[in-house]
Structure 1
Amino acid sequence: MDISEILELADELVFVKTGQHLDYLQKSILRGTLKGQKYWKIAEETHSSEGHVRDVGSKLWKILSEGLGEDITKANFRAILEKAKIYRNNISSAIVGETITVNTLNICRENSRSDTPKPQTEQTPTQPHINLGDAPEIFSFFDRTIQLTTLETWILQQHSRLIAILGISGIGKTTLSLKLIEQIKHNFEYIIYRSLRFSPTLETTLTNLLQIFAPKTETPQNIETQLSQLINYLRQHRCLIILDDVHTLFSSKQLAGQYQTGYENYHLFFQLITQVTHQSCLIVNSWEKPREVVQLKKENNIIHCLLLEGLGEAAKEILRVQELLDEDYWQSLIEQYQGNPLWLELTSDLIKDLFAGRVSEFLQWDTLILSETLQAQLDQQFQRLTAQEIFVMIQLAKENEPVCLAHFIKKLDLPTSELLNAMQSLGMRLLLDVKECDRTRLFSLNPVLKQYIKNRYTETKIN
């Protein structure tokens, strides 16, 4: 019998005894056993603790022993299956719907699944449980091949437990996350997407997640118990969880990454995800870097951050879909609006409404034109800034060339510590363009943000 046949038979036995199929870790234990691997090796490959693998293995051998009527252990599993040649022949019979008997256990591939109604959350090995909740419908997707490949490598090959997808509003974080699901969904048993746009407490988020795994079980009120149960599910099942709009958990008018009062325990949640052994992955999307992600990334190589930038050449497809004219000018338009999909779509609407779709006429103006809809989008992000951050942005908007910190420290009437904290916070909010020149870091604003500052802020007043 080859490995696939043994897994198929084991899955049938487990299903008849428990009403559930083999999960990711159980399959890994069986594969590892058939390859002669020790528990520590199986634990290493599944990114689980050796103790947890031993516990799951012990329960699995007990289920199989009851099903086959023989005492099965890790040591004799292969020998018993190889000796029992009848099992292999009976699988073929089971496939065509015949009922067969293995000792005292009846197995029928078709009937065993139809006689017992499956709960909605139960999935076949090739069909994960996908719960996208309030995820937006994606009507178009423009090339992000490099980013998708990077994410797939981090998740499937490097077994990253926490990934932060970061980028300014409209850059395509949500779209990329949902596209990623399509690409790697068959590697997971559970895939869950949730937006935090309405700033739910951690208790609310955990309750929502736990109900997906156990819809008929009462959720505990104690947050420590909720966290423990969720981690246990992440160990038992290979899960991909995406939390979108994480920036809504942070306070406005304070430096980046500071949680609102009552939301500080999200810090513990993210910390547990990275430090406790399990086989799942959490992706968080945000306008600004969560501070603990920055800190934990320095300590742990199973945490990754993907800074999402503009589309570049691929953005031409947006303009093509928008049916704009003057293709020779498209690259200039893309560069001015940073290849940001949302910025380009909103600007395309303006070009169609006022310039009959002619990009050349739109670009002839000396001033970069921002539609009111685009500026309203940016308002959402700028309303979160401190007065010191806005002051720094106003000064940067006046500069014609990138500047170094030493230049700013001499020029601005702002205490050095406040300036440095404001600059660091703006960097965490992804609002600064940064480049290195002769080992000196230079700062500037992209053209859209610079024009937005000029349009919205006419006075440099610190309250």
Structure 2
Amino acid sequence: MGVDNAIEFTDSLLYEKTGQHLSDLQCCILQQVWGGKTYRAIAAVAGYSEGHVKDVASQLWRLLSDVLGERITKGNYRSRLVYWLKRAKRKVITVADRVSPHLHTAVAAPAPAPTTDNIDPHFIGRDAHIQTLEDLKSQGHKIIVIQGEGGLGKTTLAQHYLRQTSFDILLEWRVAQETSSLTDVEHILDEWLRQDLGDEPGQDLSISLSRLKRHLKQKHIGILIDNLEPALDGNGQFVPEARSYAELLKLLSDFSIQATTLITSRDRLCEPGIKAHHYRLPRLTFVNWQQCFSYHQLRLPTTDEILQRLHRAYGGNAKAMEILCSTVQTDFNGDLAAYWQAYGANPLAEIDLKNLVISQIDRLQCLDPVAHQLLCRLSCYRYQAIAKLPLAAVLAQGQEQDAQRAIASLRNRSLIEMEHGQYWLHPIIRAVAIERLRQDAALWHQANQAAAHYWTSSITVLKSIMDAQQALEAYYHHIAIDDYSAAANVLLKSRHNQWQQFLPLASSLYRMGFLHPVSTVITDVLTHLENESTPLLQVSELRNILGDIYWITGEIQAAITCQESTLSTTHRHLDNVTNLDARRHYYLQMLNIDSQLSLGLYAMDLWELDQAKDALTTVINQGENTRHQAWADKATVALALTHAYQGQAQTASTLAKRCLHTFTHQSSQSGRLAYFIQLLGQTYGQLGHLDQAKNLYQQALNFAEAGHYPQVKAKALTGLATISRQHQQPAEALQYHSQSVELFDGIGAKCDLAYAYVELGHTYLSLQKVDVAHQYWHQALALYRDIDAQKQMHRVLNLLNNKQS
């Protein structure tokens, strides 16, 4: 049963009981819960607060409990609704509704005729296998590898089992279909922690694994790792590119966690140190094949000989059964004897599944060249982070009128999968199709260009992490055709985001907390661009973004190098201003000012305050009363804080008041200024205006939580902790500190984390806990040493030497 049927059934139940239909929010909650999403994730999708979503959901579970006469919860809603729907609908939709009317009178029942009542045509013969998985889970196996050849139904079985079992949360990872496209395990953990578990990933693999383990101990979680074999070598061990996968699987095999992990793979997993039970999935029986052919009302001979020979030839393979049913129905008017007569005693030269797929695609090429080309072009999509395609992505690969008919042709032949309006290719079908696509260099190039154009044009505003991930797909398609300049343009394409900013994709992604993934794609593309005759400005803007990522993660010297390189390039071009049009001049000047602003912020974190003031003053002088006034406003905030740090209260106060006035008049857009609002909060805090500081921190916190900006959220929490300490509210201060430290640690923001440790030390000192204070100051010292922030190290050493009990 799909989620649409579930919601329709739920709606009918409630309407019958209450006379009211489900609201849009209730439908959204049911849809997301069906997919195993957390309330936090549902709130992000629905556009409501997490608390409101929980309240509506709680009321919904109570209503359903009353209707069904048993306790319904978020955790068991799916399994219990399946049970009640089966009770309500004892039989599947009649066969007559599924086949063409002209076939009805021509059906010849096989002997003996297997019943087709109460069967799911996509899940024939698997009830016993579901029970086997349940038995293995009950025996305490944490990792179960469902092993078997392609097309056996491993993924279908795993998904069906996980969805019908009452897990609190479902996590899914589709391993790349090719070894060359394997995804870093850090990216997978980022996805699970941030989107599914409502947590922040760590700055390195070990921290992210530790956080995942905490969730796995607290919640009953089902995990599917699909199609593992591209990550394995000939000995069943991980290839060098996937060595870190072993660390994740070792965690998932830990007996202290509540999770159950299903892995599908054609190959056996033989990695030392990973406890996994291998379950070789049995093939479908001849009776199962009879059920499937009868269900589709195919005309079968009076004897079973032909079907038995086909069953033996394909070893009971589920995908082969599906393709054969479709071929007989579509190409031979439902007549198995006609199919057999066409292919003779040896229906195919080869009998393995890949050759069946090849034969089917060869026939498609002869009968429907348009559908054949669409199938090949659809194979260029990665089916990884975005595992299923919307219809628009399919249509992007052909003329809409032809594509609609071609999709029907592919579905009729079981060469494309579809569920709830989403499309994808079976891995074996994709493997055959992409091999053909790559043989035609022009078509390979066109398909990837069309896919890249679709992903770029379909995402106009970045409102969520999913939007950003879809927009990033275009990058991979350009990389596939070695168009590195176009790949860079994907990263640099600006869109409005949830903070009312107009930023390049890469900038929005790293603000969302995707520091490591963005750093990886930028450095990868820069490696190629710097060896080509690429416009230097494109390289410079990428370095400008990469510099800010290095800064946040504590690699400040590398960050400075990136910004100085950008400044050098922009200065060279600005010297030739007479040859530049107005738009290009604006862009160059903006990039120049932005790099200067970044250098000023870096210097502040290094406590090089005079250097910071010089850079910030330059930004103000260049931007004030120009189209770059926004940069001058930001620099003024930072300059005010710098003066406050140096004890120059009058100057700091004057600048802060000017900034407060500016921000007040930009309140409708202040979400884009969240970082600088918290800087202004720091300034007022340094000046002793605690109420104003608290108000600014709270504003920044609200914007950061609404737009998922973890760095700003953590900095605002640190500021609120210092104010609580000054108001002699240590318990509240420690609570704020705990949240901010965890966030900074999660995104790997070393400079910010070191500052947070310093402030946490002050809070413990106010509680007369000198040893604990020193402990955190030593941690701050270690981070500043790692960053090579000499003056910050000197400040912390002074604290350790002077703040004695």
TM-score tier by shorter-chain length is 0.3 to 0.5
TM (norm. structure 2) is 0.28
Structure with greater proportional strand content:
1
Q: Which has the larger radius of gyration?
A: 2
Q: Which has the higher contact order (CA 8 A, sep 6+)?
A: 1
Structure with greater proportional helix content:
2
